[in-house]
Structure 1
């Protein structure tokens, strides 16, 4: 469940209008070369709706991993291609991440939740469910960036 929630937050975090993204910098407290799932929130909603509408079963976890794992370095390259301008990934300290999140208007509880999730993922998190055909969803980060991020950034 945590992996789903964290992965769900990654794409919306690109929308937080961090001024650095406008300047071609993708800042993160994560390791730049460590791949992780990038999941479209719509895919999570579709999986959740399907589970809610299915016959009731007791408990269980349904991971949602997106179509492929990407490192922040790969995401910066992807953004460069889709946005048509250079984007570079930069690793920042947790305190710098806190400042970025406060700068985009998040409250302290939200800031600490995101920093805590980032630290947990960065420092040895192991997913409860491995990627399988059942946990892999179709929406690519390229498609999401084209539809949701590119229109918000100046040319």
Structure 2
């Protein structure tokens, strides 16, 4: 983000779900705190809308007050970048698996519904979480 470019694995125009971590926590807490809850439950969280990388960099750029672009890189280049950032081989492959799985016709097990749609927009998250982090680190 600081350099104005983001390396990505997906086509930059392909939309997919974006969800704020706090929304995941809120859904989990709301289920776990129910008096009638027991056992296991799978609950999708899809965020308020599907966004492409082109959409994401436009929103983030607006929040940060700078131009940000996304560009595709090869899988091996991304692996090298992630490993170079200090990630373990298992962490690298976990991220690669999530990203490459999305470009191969991924269909979520639970579709977007009012129950699976969460509230926090990317812009709200970027303003509250990303902007202060980047401001603090230059």
TM-score by length of structure 1 reads 0.81
Counterpart Cα distance in 2 of 1:142 and 1:106: 27
Q: Secondary structure in 1 aligned to 2:6?
A: strand
Q: Does 2:115 correspond to 1:134? A: yes
Name the larger-Rg structure: 2
Return 5+ residue gaps in structure 1 as ranges: 1-20
Could you tell me how far apart the structure 2 residues matched to 1:56 and 1:144 are? Answer: 30
> Take 1:56 and 1:148, find their aligned partners in 2: how far apart are those partners?
32
Q: Secondary structure at the match of 1:67?
A: coil
> 1:57 deviation in Å?
5.3
The higher-RCO structure (CA 8 Å, 6+ apart) is 2
Offset, 1:152: 2.5
Aligned length in residues = 135
1:105 aligns with 2:86: yes
Structure 2 residue runs of 5 or longer lacking an equivalent are none
Structure 2 CA distance for aligned equivalents of residues 98 and 129 of structure 1: 29
d(CA) in 1 for partners of 2:14 and 2:93? 22
C-alpha deviation, 1:59, in angstroms = 4.4
RMSD: 1.5
Partner of 1:51: 31
Q: Does 1:148 align with 2:129?
A: yes
Deviations 1:123-149 (A, max 9, x none): 111100111111111111111111111
Residue 2 (structure 2) aligns with: 22
**What residue in structure 2 maps to residue 118 of structure 1?**
99
Aligned positions of 1:9-88 closer than 5 A: 21-54=1-34, 55-56=36-37, 59-88=40-69
Tell me the CA shift for residue 100 of structure 1. Answer: 1.8
Distance 1:86 1:109 in 2: 33
- Aligned to 1:153, the other structure's residue is in SS state helix
The offset of 1:80, in angstroms, is 1.3
- Deviation per CA, 1:2-60, whole angstroms, max 9, x where unpaired? xxxxxxxxxxxxxxxxxxx2110021101211111110111001101111122125544
